[in-house]
Structure 1
Amino acid sequence: MAPDITHIAQTTHALEAAAVMKLLPARPRLLALGEPTHGEDTLLDVRNELFRNLVEEEGYRTIAIESDCLAALLVDDYVTGGPGTLDGAMAHGFSHALGASAANRELVRWAREYNTDRPASEHLRFAGFDGGPLEITGPASPRPALTALHDRLATLLDADGLLPCTAETLDRLLGADERWTDPAAMTDPSRSFGRSAEAAELRLLADDLASLLDEHTPHLIAVASWEDGDRARLYARTAGGLLRYHHWMADTSPARMTRLMGVRDRMMADNLLALAARGPVLAFAHNSHLQRERSSLRMGGERLEWWSAGSLVSARLGADYAFVATALGTIRHHGVDAPPPETVEGLLYALPEDRCLVDPRRLAAALGEVLPTPRASPYFGYFGLDPAHLADADGLVFVKDLARR
């Protein structure tokens, strides 16, 4: 027997920051907003509106998105009043073609405008928390992170004899970037440079440089700004993570793809934890990266499972981590039509609101013991809700229809 639509409607609220906070025991240091598919500006518009609400009503000052953490430094410099243009920030400050999004452009424009004439302590900040473009387009080279870390330590430390190598040694070991970024290495481990003698030496050097950074924390605090130290730690995390990722790209065991997924989400988690340490953050990425349960993906007939970034961060932050998933009704331009009525999405689609915030735990209680049917998607880029994990989220945003923009 289908649940009463009246009971379902009682679980919904207007989509605004105050309503989100009412679902939580306290304001979290890290509020994660997921999306069920990429490349849809309607979902980014929802994110932008919620972030503005959080800034104005709840004191949030940082937004972090699923984009290259190093490239995003350029956007952060721009929104905090640095030189350059909006066009330049969009062209060079994003990975995964996210700079072409009109909604992302509006976010960056608004953040820069908001920061104008405000003191630095009140500035909005922008961050990426992905380790780089680590997917089919070709993994990122460790060169930018490693050389930036080395340069920063050489500048900040009175380092006669302390640095484990010279810049020239790093350059020689790294070689041409093409040896690291070959897209064919994603499916052919023999094309990866990640287990070469040079890569093994670079992993040791990256570890030594990161250790040197930690060993000299009191000195660095005395001679440099907090911002300098924060960026140096970002370089260290990224260099080590990318070299670890390349190591597993060269692996030929059945664990290869699972390890790659896990390494990427661990890099995301480390970046999110570092961002949360400096104040409340809104993080935005795919639901599968931010959920508390294990992530899964079917690839080549094999089901891969790994712990998501959200599960890792939640384990560390506890109640200071909150996850709001997003579900949707249709993406007709991708062949995703109205959801079947026996699915969670179908039940929500019957409501009159175009978008709303749902209390997932009350919804799970209203649904009872018989779980709705999981929604099957005809579009590989969209993942429906798993009804079994509905109550593991702190909130659920429902968007009825996505239109092509």
Structure 2
Amino acid sequence: MTASIRDAARPFTGAALASLLPPATRLLGLGEPAHGVEAFPELRNELFRHLVEHEGYRSIALESDCLAALATDAYVAGGIGVLDDAMSRGFSHGLGASPANRELVRWMRAYNEQCPPHERLRFHGFDGPLEMTGAASPRPALTALHDCLSAHLDLPWSRETLDELLGPDERWTDPAATTDPTRSPGRTPEAGRLRLIADDLRALLTAHTPHLTAALSPDGWWRADVYARTAAGLLRYHAGMADIAPTRVGTLMCLRDAMMADNLDAIVAREARRGPTLVFAHNRHLQKDRSSWLLPEGWGPLAGRTLEWWSAGAIVGTRLGDRYAFAAATFGTRGSDVPEPGTLEGLLSALPDARAVIDPVRLAAVLDRTPAPRVPADHTYFPLDPATAAQADALVFLKDI
């Protein structure tokens, strides 16, 4: 069987992975099975350089706060600020501390110094301002959108009205609201009014697109649209946090990935005339099939419950069809965590190369049975589901991390 598996695999290179993608691809998702393992963003950097230099890609999107990413993009595309500030202010989830992310931003800026403005690489975040400990206040996004529009349109709401409805930011960012819905302001009458205002502001942004694009510049309109999507998404997420139903956590997972999908849609539309986009995030956010998560200890009465939701990749893949491609990454050995021989990762560990790219369709054709699921050594790692691995367009395997 090993010889047959080798027929489905080749050493990892950007060209080897690109050869497995549909010709119509405009958005390529590269997943990682665990956060905080530098081997995966390092591989991402290598792939992105190939895609830029040989496949016409002109942008990248990371699983990071879309608002914070505006600062990184300003540095990458416009040379505004310095690298240290771009890393400290332009990332969420602690991603600014990653050496691979720093190298990505440095390389993109250096590449852009040799390019005319219309060909420069752009940097995007596609996550909302969300952390495991809670969600950000909607104030920055909502007031920034209001400021953009009020400079050019007569609005029926003042900043003072918004500030009064928003109240103290501490109400929105209270970590206790993560587990106690009664601590969240997301379903108060004031929050309900804010959701209507955010919706109306976004409608005005759309209705006056020609005028506002000329007044703000295309990049200015893009920033306003990021504020609009984020304000609406955050208010929706806070309403979910205030939900007392037992399905609350699953609803929040759905809302987050729906926000991610909307951001990816907007990025693809913005980049349509320039080139495809690489998006890098956890496999669970990019896979084409339904995502699931067995809640570990520490989630109180929810521990041991399996949550299921449609990933951003599944949502955007439905919209884009064969213009969305997904490459799932996984690994063999990490320290004492060695895969069992009958698992997918155990079978792939017999390959001779330290890094390989595998055609999942050919792999499924040569296997005489569906491999057993790998049991993770800890909750930070999500192994691939062997039953749905063939839905990916490519598999990337690192033998040892």
Q: Does 1:317 align with 2:320?
A: yes
Structure 2 SS opposite 1:199:
helix
2:251 aligned to which of 259, 282, 285: 259
Report the Cα offset of residue 190 of structure 1.
Answer: 1.0
Structure 2, unpaired ranges of 5+: 296-302
SS in 2 for 1:66: strand
> 1:9-63 CA distances to partner (integer Å, 9 max, x unpaired)?
1111232232223212304110000000000111110000000000000010101
Secondary structure at the counterpart of residue 387 of structure 1 = coil
Secondary structure in 1 aligned to 2:195?
helix
Deviation at 1:220, TM superposition (A): 2.0
1:140 aligns with 2:143: no
Q: In the TM superposition, what is the alpha-carbon distance from 1:201 to its structure 2 partner?
A: 1.0
State the SS of the aligned residue for 1:388.
Answer: coil
CA contact (8 A) 1:36 1:287 kept: yes
Give CA-to-partner distance per residue, 1:111-134, whole Å, 9 cap, x none: 1111113211111111100011x2
- 1:304-356: per-residue Cα shift (whole Å, max 9, x none)? 11110000000000000000000101222xx5x22111001001111111101
In structure 2, the residue matched to 1:353 is 353
Identity %: 60
**Does residue 127 in structure 1 map to residue 124 in structure 2?**
yes
Runs of 4+ aligned structure 1 residues displaced above 6 Å come to none
Question: AA paired with 2:136?
Answer: A
Match of 1:302 among 296, 302, 305: 305
1:109 is displaced (CA, Å) by 0.7
Q: CA deviation at 1:211?
A: 0.9
Q: Which letter does structure 2 place at the counterpart of 1:362?
A: R
SS in 1 for 2:376: coil
Structure 2 CA distance for partners of 1:187 and 1:127, relative to 1, 3 Å:
same
The two structures have a TM-score, normalised by structure 1, of 0.94
Distance 2:45 2:18 in 1: 17
Once the two structures are superposed, the pairs formed by residues 363-382 of structure 1 within 5 Å of their partners are 363-368=363-368, 370-382=369-381
- Corresponding residue for residue 280 of structure 2: 284
Mark the runs of 5 or more structure 1 residues left unpaired by the alignment: none
- 1:397 and 2:396 aligned: yes
Once residues 22 and 83 of structure 1 are traced to their aligned partners in structure 2, the CA distance between those partners, rounded to angstroms, is: 36
Distance 2:348 2:69 in 1: 36
Total equivalences in the alignment: 390
2:40 alignment partner in structure 1? 43
Query: SS at 1:48's partner residue?
Result: helix
* TM-score normalised per structure 2: 0.95
Corresponding residue number in structure 2 for 1:329: 332
What residue is the counterpart of 2:71 in the other structure? 74
Q: Retained in 2: the 8 A contact 1:17–1:57?
A: no
- Listed as ranges, the matches of 1:1-400 within 5 Å are 4-132=1-129, 134-155=130-151, 157=152, 159-160=153-154, 163-277=155-269, 278=271, 279-299=275-295, 300-332=303-335, 335=336, 337-368=337-368, 370-400=369-399
Code of the residue aligned with 2:145 in structure 1: it is: L
The one-letter code sitting in structure 2 at the alignment partner of 1:307 is: W
Cα distance in 2 for residues equivalent to 1:33 and 1:331? 20
The answer to whether the 8 A contact 2:77-2:121 is kept is: yes
Give the Cα–Cα distance (whole angstroms) in 1 for the partners of residues 62 and 170 of structure 2: 27
Structure 2 CA distance, aligned partners of 1:135 and 1:128? 14
- What secondary structure does 1:269 align onto? helix
One-letter code of the match for 2:65?
D
**CA distance in 2 between partners of 1:14 and 1:144 (Å):** 46
